Structure 1
C-alpha cells in the first residue's frame, strides 16, 4: 500500500512538472492511478482532484510572474467554466469514440505546423487587445472548455496554440494564459466528480501535495528557461497525446 501510494505520488509530481510547462500531464498521472488498481471512473475523479490543485498553483505562480494577460483572461474564464459544465453534461449522454480520429489529426497538424514554423512562439509579438480579439478569445475559451469537459486529451496544446496563433504570444506567455483556462475547466469537472462521489481521497490528497510541488518546479522552469524549454516540451507532449489516441483507436 505504501509503495503504491509513493509510486502514484511520484507519477503525480512528474506529471505536474510537465503539465505546468506545456500541458499533457494526464498522460503520466492517470495511467499511474489505473495501474494502482483504481477503477476508471474513480481514477478520473481522483486525478482531476489532484491535477486541479496543481493547475491552480501553476496559474497563481504564472500570474505572480506577470505572464498572465488578465484583460483577456478575465473575460474568458466564465465562458470556459460554462463550456466545461456543458461538456461534462454532454459526455454523460453522447459517446466520445468518434472524437478520437478527429482530435488525432488536429493534434498532429498543430505539431507539424509548430515544427515547420520554426519562429512560431519564439518571440512575443502581442500588440494589445482589440474588440474582435476579445470576441474570438471568448469563443475559443467556450469551445475548448466544452472540449475539456467532454473529452479532454490535448486541451492544453490547443489552448497554447490558440494564444500563440491568434494573439502572437510567445510559448511562455501562451502557456501561462492557457493554464488559467485549463484550471477553470478542470474545476468544473472536479465539482461534478466530487458531487458524484468519484474521488478516492486516500490517493487524491497526497497526490495533490506531490502535484503542487511538481507544478511549482515546472512553472519556475518555464519562467526561468523560457521558450527554449517550453517549445520542445510542448511538441513532445503533443506527439504523445497523438500516439495515445492512435493506440486507443487501434485497440
Structure 2
C-alpha cells in the first residue's frame, strides 16, 4: 500500500461508506468514491491502480446491497443474474480498452444524456411509481440483456460515471419495473459490471488490495444501510435520490470538462 496518512485513510473510508449508501439506493456512488481515491492517493500512483482499487471496493458494497435487496424486495433473481453475466462480459471488454480511451471525448454526450434523463423523470412523475401489470416478454428481457447488460456493462468498464443510474433507468423502462425493484435489480447487475472490470484490473496487477479491503468494509456497511432505507421508503424516495444524483453528475462532469 502506498504511503498514505492516517487522516487520509479515514477520509477514504468515510467516502467509501457514503458511496456505498448512494450506490445502494440509486447508483452513482462512483461519483464520490473514484474522485476521493484520485485526490487521496499519492501522485505517483498510476490511474489504473485507482480504477482497479475502486472496483475492488465497489463490488463488496454492491454485493451486500444486492443480497439485502434480494431478501426483502420483489426481485427476479434469475433475470437479474442473466443480465449480470452479460454485464460482466461487457465490463471486461470495456476495461481492456480503458487505457486507450479519452474520457473527455464522451463527457459532453454523457452530460446531454443525463440532462434528458433528469427532464424525463421530472416531467413524467408516474415513471417507475408502480410496476406495469403483466408478464415481461422475452423480447424485453433480451433487450435488457443487450442494453443494460452488455452495453452499460461495457460503458462501466470503459468510463464508469453514472453506471448505476443508467442501469436503474434502463431496467425500469425495459422490464417495466417500479424504481425500487429496478434499483434492487440494478445492484445484482452492478455486481457483474464491477466483477468483469475487476478481473481485468487484477490480472494487470492494478489493485491495491490492503487499502481496498479496508475501504470495502465501510462500503459494505453503507451499501446495506442504503438498501434497507430504500426498501423502507419506497419508489418515491428512490426517485428523489435519483434526481439528486443525476444533477450532481451533470455538475461534476461539467466542472471536469471546462476546468
The equivalent position to 2:100 in structure 1, one of 89, 93, 96, is 93
Query: Per-residue CA shift, 1:83-113, capped at 9, x if unaligned?
Result: 1111112233343322111111111101110
The equivalent position to 1:104 in structure 2, one of 111, 115, 127, is 111
What is the deviation of 1:72?
2.1
5+ residue gaps, structure 2, are none
TM score, norm. by length of structure 2: 0.91
Aligned to 1:7: 11
Aligned to 2:61: 54
5+ residue gaps, structure 1, are none
1:76-225 aligned at under 5 Å gives the runs 76-140=83-147, 141-225=149-233
Once residues 101 and 158 of structure 1 are traced to their aligned partners in structure 2, the CA distance between those partners, rounded to angstroms, is 16
What is the deviation of 1:126?
4.7
Once residues 244 and 197 of structure 1 are traced to their aligned partners in structure 2, the CA distance between those partners, rounded to angstroms, is 29
Once residues 202 and 254 of structure 2 are traced to their aligned partners in structure 1, the CA distance between those partners, rounded to angstroms, is 30
Q: Does 1:20 find its partner at 2:27? A: no
Once residues 131 and 121 of structure 1 are traced to their aligned partners in structure 2, the CA distance between those partners, rounded to angstroms, is 20
Once residues 145 and 223 of structure 2 are traced to their aligned partners in structure 1, the CA distance between those partners, rounded to angstroms, is 26
Aligned to 2:50: 43
Asked if structure 1 preserves the Cα contact closer than 8 Å seen for 2:53 and 2:207, the reply is yes
Change (3 A) 1:211 1:5: same
Asked if structure 2 preserves the Cα contact closer than 8 Å seen for 1:107 and 1:238, the reply is yes
Asked if structure 1 preserves the Cα contact closer than 8 Å seen for 2:12 and 2:37, the reply is yes
RMSD over aligned Cα, in angstroms?
1.5
Once residues 209 and 89 of structure 2 are traced to their aligned partners in structure 1, the CA distance between those partners, rounded to angstroms, is 26
Query: Which region of structure 1 is more displaced relative to structure 2, 91-100 or 140-149?
Result: 91-100
Query: Which region of structure 1 is more displaced relative to structure 2, 80-89 or 29-38?
Result: 29-38
TM score, norm. by length of structure 1: 0.94
Q: Does 1:29 find its partner at 2:33? A: yes
Query: Which region of structure 1 is more displaced relative to structure 2, 137-146 or 29-38?
Result: 29-38
Describe the SS at the equivalent of 1:118. Answer: coil
What is the deviation of 1:213?
0.6
Change (3 A) 1:202 1:75: closer
Describe the SS at the equivalent of 1:119. Answer: coil
Once residues 18 and 74 of structure 1 are traced to their aligned partners in structure 2, the CA distance between those partners, rounded to angstroms, is 22
What is the deviation of 1:25?
0.9
What is the deviation of 1:177?
0.7
Asked if structure 2 preserves the Cα contact closer than 8 Å seen for 1:67 and 1:177, the reply is no
Query: Which region of structure 1 is more displaced relative to structure 2, 66-75 or 110-119?
Result: 66-75
Describe the SS at the equivalent of 2:104. Answer: coil
